Amino acid sequence: MKYLLFLSSLVISITNLYPVAAHQVEVAADVGATLHIEPNDNPSAGEPSQAWFALTRRGGKVIPLSQCNCRLAVYAKPYAAGEPPLLEPALEPVAAERYKGVPGAEVVFPKPGIYELQLNGKPVSGARFKPFQLKFEVTVAGGSTQNTQNLRDVNSNLGEGGSQKLPVWAIALPIFGFIAILFVVLQSMRRSGE
């Protein structure tokens, strides 16, 4: 029975290759931010998503948009250095959860794929924090059939090692291995009981 528990926990740990994180946190200099994307941190192509940043100074003090000369740029990955952003949505103060007046913007990602959101900021006069640049990676799913019917993945030319999809065999192999080990353990338990 000990072997069965050990092997089942091993199989479960192998099959959980991609951990799930609800919000991304980035830190630069003395500023940190948590990216939130509505709805449910799961943006869809062609559909409006509300992105907002819980921007704080070291120590947890909130930095409202009124104290920050902030700029948001959206890039489709991969992109070349010096390439202009795909989108530059205007930032507006957002009140969400316990945060009041933090930077936020409505973003409509044009196609499914991986994007990078870059939030750059400098303090306005009287604010006390260092200039910063924060980068967040966002995976955008396909939207409704109507919005993505003629769109192809913006990351289709990722090349070697760029695929984010897990092959079917990589999921099936641990499952079949678990079943085989379970069968062998049960057979050995029956034989030892006879």
**Span 110-124, pLDDT tens digits:** 999 999 999 999 999
Task: Please answer whether residues 160 and 96 qualify as being in contact, where contact means their C-beta atoms are separated by less than 8 angstroms.
Answer: no
**How far apart, in whole angstroms, are the C-alpha atoms of residue 183 and residue 64?**
59
Compare 96 and 133 and report the one with higher pLDDT: 133
3-state secondary structure of 175: helix
Burial of 15 per CB tally in 10 Å (0-12, 13-18, 19+) = middle
Q: Give the model's confidence band at 70: pLDDT under 50 very low, under 70 low, under 90 confident, else very high.
A: very high
Task: Please answer whether residues 15 and 171 qualify as being in contact, where contact means their C-beta atoms are separated by less than 8 angstroms.
Answer: yes
**How far apart, in whole angstroms, are the C-alpha atoms of residue 27 and residue 34?**
9
Cis previous bond, 78, omega within 30 = yes
Q: What pLDDT, on the 0 to 100 scale, is given for residue 3?
A: 55
Least-confidence region, from 3-7, 116-120, 157-161: 157-161
**Span 71-128, pLDDT tens digits:** 999 999 989 988 999 999 999 999 988 889 999 999 999 999 999 999 999 999 888 9
DSSP H or E run through 183: helix 168-193
